[in-house]
Structure 1
Amino acid sequence: MSASVQATTAAAGSATDADLLAQTVIAVRTAGSALRERFGEVVRHQTRDELTRALAANDDTALSILRPRLTELRPDAGWVEDELDGGALPSGEWWVVDPAEGNVNHLHALPEWAVTATLVRDNQPALTAVHLPLTGETYTALAGGGAHRDGMPLHVSQTTDLGLGIVATSQARPDEDETVVRRVGSSITAMLSDALVVRTAVPATLHLVNVAAGRIDAFWQFVGARADLLPGALLVTEAGGRISDAEGRPWTPQSGSFLAAAPGVHGQAASTLSR
């Protein structure tokens, strides 16, 4: 294939994905509007079953919009049913969607929640859209095409001293086993010694948005699911950040830990987390 034909083919592929991303943005914004209408009062629950039903009601509201629209965009793509699933996907294209990322915050009338949709190709995120309905912001990333907030380019921070950095972590899921819980606790203790400020909250995606935007310098998490890490992984990478596991080794969806950081503090953060 000649160089000119290769360039034309690459440009066509990029345009196709750019168009697909634009339609994905419309889908997550529409789903976000539906969830915003349900937001405001604390949803009371006395049992785990009541909580589960309330979470499912939000998910169903958003999925009723997202699934048909995204399926129409990519009819042959698979669909990840459980946003808590982890590990590698089969080959091909898959929609990895979190219809209400930070759903528990939504139920408690807290503002930290979002709608995310990521198209994964052969276990690599190709494009992602993260919409924050309460602020109206939409974060997007296209593999090889950069990361943006409402069309404005994103760049990770220029911090080179972890001791001057703001870092964050998140609880991957409720009911973690004791080994993971203890590892989370020791990592927070280590970061409290080495970083300026440590933030702890859910969901992971909103911390990763902040890393991509240069507002915080690093984020780490143990275990984790595809839906809460893949969108942010692409955003951070395309904004110039580094992704690895907590020890600095290459990250994959099968990894037992995750670290996203500005290049100037990535090594320091991995060293702290490896203690």
Structure 2
Amino acid sequence: MEQLLTDVTAAVRRAGDALLAEYGENARPTDKNDMALAGRRLDATVTAILEPALSAIRPEARWVDSDQEMSVLAPGEWWAGDPIEGGVNYVHGMDQWSVTVALIRDNLPVLAVVYEPVRGRTWTAVRGGGAFVDRQPLTVSTKKDVDAAFVTTTQPRTKNRQFGDAMAALLDRALLVRSTVPSTFPQLDVAAGHVDVYWQYECDLIGVAAGVLLVTEAGGVVTNLRGEPWQPGDTDILAAAPGLHGEFLSILRTV
């Protein structure tokens, strides 16, 4: 797995650097069509680098596509890669975007690489081997008090009323609640102990798989909102420090 991680990291960094060469802080899209065109172009740039590289590294592994983002996967190995996680930030000239790859084996994330080109940081995890940013180990928060918790979330596609009710319930209990995109970055913050809790309705596999492994390997707890260990096919997620997970699961299950 060490050599596999090295090879995958190199491929992800090549793809991210190709995006960085075109990135500008002054980027401002004019409308949704402009954003969509930019997104397709950026996806094509990364895919042309990443898919051949990863297919050569692990030719037996299949690729998760858009039809499988909320489905249980067939047995075996799968690449779950987001060519540009946080594309909406990229096209608005903001720096929270990345290239994200997870290798999933029999519906468990076993390897993750997240590369932030603007900050030059690389986040990695291998199942059973810990989580790291630039080779420095990550550890989740040790907080246990709900009223001291920093909570993050990502806006869902359709469940806006339930989302609003959940936000209200959390605002009554937690120290701070913030909504942000994309879903990978708040999970990185949980893994690093900067943030204590992350939850999301209507999550997709490609958007959360790498973060699930990073949080878990950093000592966090990641489940669906029924309290079961998260796996592909789950459409909601709660990732938290172990001292807070149970309390926040209870809050969200009452919404």
Alignment partner of 2:244: what SS?
helix
22-31 or 80-89: which moved more?
Answer: 80-89
Amino acid in structure 1 at the alignment position of 2:27: V
Pair 1:164-2:143 in alignment: no
Q: State the 1:44 CA deviation.
A: 2.1
TM-score, length basis structure 1: 0.88
- The residue number in structure 2 matching 1:12 is none
Structure 1 residues 1-275: aligned runs within 5 Å: 17-40=1-24, 41-46=26-31, 48-82=32-66, 85-172=69-156, 176-177=157-158, 180-275=159-254
* Superposed structure 1 runs of 4+ greater than 4 Å apart: none
CA distance in 1, matches of 2:129, 2:7: 16
Larger radius of gyration: 1
Q: State the 1:43 CA deviation.
A: 4.0
| 1:119–1:73 Cα change, 3 Å | same
Say if 1:220 and 1:259, in contact at 8 Å, map to a contact too. yes
Please report the RMSD computed on the Cα atoms of aligned residues, expressed in angstroms: 1.5
CA distance in 1, matches of 2:39, 2:56: 26
CA distance in 2, matches of 1:93, 1:247: 26
Say if 1:166 and 1:198, in contact at 8 Å, map to a contact too. yes
Say if 1:83 and 1:98, in contact at 8 Å, map to a contact too. no
TM-score, length basis structure 2: 0.95
Q: State the 1:73 CA deviation.
A: 0.1
Amino acid in structure 2 at the alignment position of 1:192: L
Say if 1:83 and 1:225, in contact at 8 Å, map to a contact too. no
Say if 2:70 and 2:234, in contact at 8 Å, map to a contact too. no
Q: State the 1:36 CA deviation.
A: 1.0
Q: Report the number of matched residues.
A: 253
Q: Which runs of 5+ in 1 are unaligned?
A: 1-16
Amino acid in structure 1 at the alignment position of 2:117: P
Q: State the 1:81 CA deviation.
A: 3.1
Q: State the 1:216 CA deviation.
A: 0.4
Alignment partner of 2:66: what SS?
coil
Amino acid in structure 2 at the alignment position of 1:45: T
Alignment partner of 1:65: what SS?
helix
Question: What is the percentage of aligned positions where both structures have the same residue?
Answer: 41
CA distance in 2, matches of 1:146, 1:63: 28
- The residue number in structure 2 matching 1:5 is none
Q: State the 1:246 CA deviation.
A: 2.4
Q: State the 1:89 CA deviation.
A: 1.3
